[in-house]
Each structure stands twice: as structure tokens, then as C-alpha cells.
């Protein structure tokens, strides 16, 4: 190639490069320094994976019945959704029956939610439903009561056996050797009920305390009260009445107070509905083992959101290897009630 031709070719190449450079859009600002919604929520998408819009993530939380206990769960659900920027809602199983809960699960799946948290009414029957929903692509977390052996991602809630032990230890302190008691519960066969009852029975057996009966009300609150009245009539010298589900304890307190028997019957149980707190303040209830339902709601939404955005690092922080997220229990009596109510107020809730 002649020198003149080389010069002409070089000039042409310079013009092409200049045109490409001037044709490229110029970036302004520093967009890479602005954190994404996931970063604000503390959840990072994996490198190379598309970012998920938090607003597109919707999570359903399904209860096993309707009671004030679930108000604290709902508060936790709503706070987690606000913190993460996603959507989450709680729906109550009004009848407290398996078929309705199954329908609520199927409706949530059909709606296309990113994940479901559920408090199962029937461990065996719901395990199959959970397995099917997970197999079709929607992750499930159990709260309040577990379905061990199912395909659920994890359990979020209390160590119910430990809660039963804690209540049993209190009973051993305040009841005489060989005392007699009765237990009241919505459904005795549900996982959380079984664990609480077993933990309580084994602990009080150390002092020879006898459990005369376990009365189920099948989530019918009127029956919860009549069950108590029936037991008091059947065993007029009974020493203690024990409420396993949240509404059982207020029913026991009301029946015992009406009959003027609190001087001879200890009233103990689980949870802290508003009526329970009022009865504790009036010293109509002696003690209750309190869970952290606010944590049930908050942590289950956190976990399901982490699954939706595929944040393995955050999930590793939230979920232990045994897949059990223990939210803790504590014993509340009239003596420490004020401190407990202050704790509730700090979370913006009135009961637990």
C-alpha cells in the first residue's frame, strides 16, 4: 500500500472512532451509589440474578381460628411488610375447621402469592396439602403449630413443650403434693397442644399432681366456658384448671370467679388476650405462659420474603439448620404484669 493510501486509511479510522465515542450516551450522577429497595431491607440479590421488586412480593398468613391472639401476629406481619416494602396480609380461619383452612390455603396459592405462613389445624391432613403446594412452587412456613415431616420450609413459633414445662414448674410451686387438675383446649391433637400438654403433664407428675381430664371445645368459645363449668361440678374439690389455647384461660377465669372458687382453685394457662391481662390485674388468673405472636408474624414474613428474592445469606441468618425458629416464652403473673404490658406498648400492641 502506498504511503498516501496508508495516511488516508488512518484518517478514516480516526473519524469512525470519534463518531462512536460522541454517539455514546453520557451517564450523569452516580446511580450505582443509590441502594436498591432490597438493600434498604437488608436483602441482597445474588450476583448475576435479576433484582426483585419488593412491591411485587405478596405473602399470605393463615390462622387456625379467630381470636385476639392473632391481632399481635397481624401487627408483626404488617410491620415486616412495611420494613421490607412488600405486601402481606393475614386471614382468619373463622370456623376453626380443617376444610375452611384447606380452602384458604388453596385460595392463597391460586392468587399467586410468593409464600404462605399457616398455623395448621391438623398435622397429618395439612402435611399433605403443604407438600402439594410446595411441590407446585409456593414455599410454606408453619407458625404457632408445626407440621414436622412436611415440605414446609421451617417452623416459626414457641417451643411448646418448654412452655408446658414452664407452666408445670409453676404448678409444682403453688400446688400441694398429689393435687388434681383439668386441662382445657380447642383441639388436643394439634401439634402445639400435644407438646404443651405433654410438657405440663410430665413436669407435674414429679410432684404427683394428677390430670383428671382434657376437655376439647373444637374452637367453640361458648363450649369452652361450659366445659369449665362441667368440670367444676364434676370435681368440686379440684385444685387447678389449665387453659391451653388463648381463649381458654379467660373462660376459666370467668367461670371460677362467678362461682367464687378462686380461693381454692388455681387458674393458669397460656397466652395474653386483653381479657386475660385484665383478669391478671384483678388477680383472677394466677399465671400465664406468654408467647411472642408478634414475632411469629414478623419473622415468618421476613423468611418468606427472603425465599421470594432468593437471598440465601439472609435466610441463613434467619433460619437455623434444624429449621426451627424459636421465638421464646415467658411466665407472666400479677407481680410482673406491669413490665410485660410496657413491653407490649413498645411494639404498639395491647395483648399477646
Same domain, 168 and 284: yes
Bridge partners, 266 (sequence order):
240
Domain-located, residue 343: no
Q: Is residue 71 part of a domain?
A: yes
Segment 127-168, tens digit of pLDDT? 999 999 999 999 999 999 999 999 999 999 999 999 999 999
pLDDT at 25: 38
3-state secondary structure of 99: helix
Same domain, residue pair 231 and 248: yes
Q: List 68's β-bridge partners, or say none.
A: none
pLDDT of residue 52: 84
Is 233 part of any domain?
Answer: yes
**167 and 131 in a common domain:** no
- Indicate the average pLDDT of the chain: 89
The confidence score (pLDDT) of residue 51 equals: 72
Do 176 and 284 fall within a single domain? yes
Q: Identify the helix (H) or strand (E) that includes residue 268.
A: strand 266-270
Same domain, yes or no: 148 and 168: no
Q: Is 190 part of a structural domain of the chain?
A: yes
Residue 72 in domain: yes
The residue segments making up the domain with residue 233 are 160-290
Same domain (yes/no): 125, 191: no
Specify the number of domains making up the chain: 2
Question: Secondary structure of 126-164 in the HEC alphabet?
Answer: HHHHHHHHHHCCCCEEEECCCCCCCCCCCEEECCHHHHH
- pLDDT above 90 covers a percentage of the chain that reads 82
- C-alpha–C-alpha distance, residues 171 and 115, integer Å: 40
> In this structure, are 233 and 167 located in the same domain?
yes
pLDDT digits (tens, 9 = 90+) for 80-135: 999 999 999 999 999 999 999 999 999 999 999 999 999 999 989 999 999 999 99
pLDDT at 8: 47
**280 and 300 assigned to the same domain:** no
Strand partners, 181: 211, 240
d(CA 122, CA 233): 31
Is residue 181 within 8 Å of 208, Cβ to Cβ? no
221 and 104, same domain (yes or no): no
Residues 305 and 272 in one domain: no
| pLDDT at residue number 221 | 82
**Would you say residue 335 lies in a domain?**
no
Query: Do 58 and 118 share a structural domain?
Result: yes
The percentage of residues in the chain with a pLDDT greater than 70, rounded to a whole number, is 86
Whether the predicted pLDDT of 26 surpasses 60? no
pLDDT digits (tens, 9 = 90+) for 204-242: 999 999 999 999 999 898 999 999 999 999 999 999 999
Q: What is the pLDDT of residues 288-321, one digit of tens each?
A: 999 999 999 999 999 999 999 999 999 999 999 9
Residue 44 lies in a domain: no
Looking up residue 309, the CATH number of its domain turns out to be 3.40.50.2300
Q: What is the mean pLDDT of residues 63-83?
A: 95
User: Are residues 241 and 121 part of one domain?
Assistant: no
- Would you give the DSSP letter of residue 205? G
User: Is residue 35 situated within a structural domain?
Assistant: no
Amino acid at each position: 500500500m502506498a504511503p498516501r493510501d496508508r495516511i488516508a486509511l488512518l484518517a478514516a479510522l480516526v473519524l469512525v472512532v470519534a463518531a462512536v465515542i460522541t454517539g455514546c450516551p453520557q451517564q450523569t450522577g452516580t446511580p450505582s451509589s443509590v441502594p436498591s429497595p432490597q438493600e434498604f431491607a437488608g436483602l441482597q440479590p445474588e450476583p448475576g440474578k435479576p433484582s426483585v421488586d419488593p412491591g411485587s412480593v405478596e405473602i399470605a398468613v393463615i390462622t387456625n381460628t379467630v381470636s385476639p391472639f392473632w391481632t399481635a401476629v397481624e401487627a408483626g406481619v404488617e410491620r415486616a411488610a412495611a420494613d421490607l416494602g412488600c405486601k402481606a396480609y393475614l386471614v382468619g380461619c373463622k370456623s376453626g375447621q380443617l376444610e375452611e383452612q384447606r380452602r384458604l390455603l388453596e385460595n392463597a396459592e391460586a392468587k399467586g402469592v410468593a409464600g404462605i405462613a399457616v398455623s395448621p389445624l391438623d398435622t397429618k391432613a395439612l402435611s399433605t396439602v403443604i407438600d402439594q403446594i410446595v411441590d407446585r412452587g409456593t414455599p410454606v412456613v408453619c407458625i404457632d403449630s408445626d407440621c414436622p415431616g412436611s415440605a414446609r420450609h421451617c417452623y416459626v413459633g414457641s417451643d411448646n413443650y418448654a412452655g408446658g414445662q414452664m407452666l408445670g414448674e409453676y404448678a409444682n410451686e403453688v400446688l400441694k403434693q398429689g393435687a388434681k387438675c383439668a386441662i382445657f383446649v380447642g383441639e388436643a391433637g394439634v401439634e402445639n397442644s400435644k407438646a404443651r400438654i405433654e410438657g405440663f403433664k410430665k413436669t407435674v407428675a414429679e410432684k404427683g399432681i394428677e390430670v383428671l381430664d382434657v376437655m376439647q371445645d373444637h374452637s367453640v368459645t361458648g363450649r369452652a366456658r361450659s366445659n369449665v363449668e362441667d368440670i367444676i361440678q364434676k370435681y368440686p374439690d379440684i385444685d387447678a384448671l389449665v387453659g391451653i389455647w388463648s381463649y381458654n384461660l379467660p373462660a376459666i377465669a370467668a367461670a371460677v370467679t362467678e362461682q367464687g372458687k378462686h380461693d381454692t382453685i388455681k387458674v393458669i394457662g397460656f397466652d395474653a388476650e386483653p381479657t386475660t391481662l385484665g383478669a391478671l390485674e384483678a388477680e383472677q388468673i394466677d399465671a400465664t405462659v406468654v408467647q411472642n405472636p408478634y414475632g411469629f408474624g414478623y419473622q415468618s414474613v421476613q423468611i418468606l420474603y427472603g425465599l421470594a428474592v432468593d437471598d440465601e445469606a439472609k435466610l441463613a441468618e434467619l433460619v437455623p439448620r434444624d429449621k426451627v425458629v424459636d421465638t421464646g416464652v415467658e411466665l407472666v403473673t400479677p407481680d410482673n404484669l406491669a413490665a410485660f404490658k410496657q413491653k407490649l406498648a413498645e411494639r404498639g400492641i395491647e395483648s399477646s
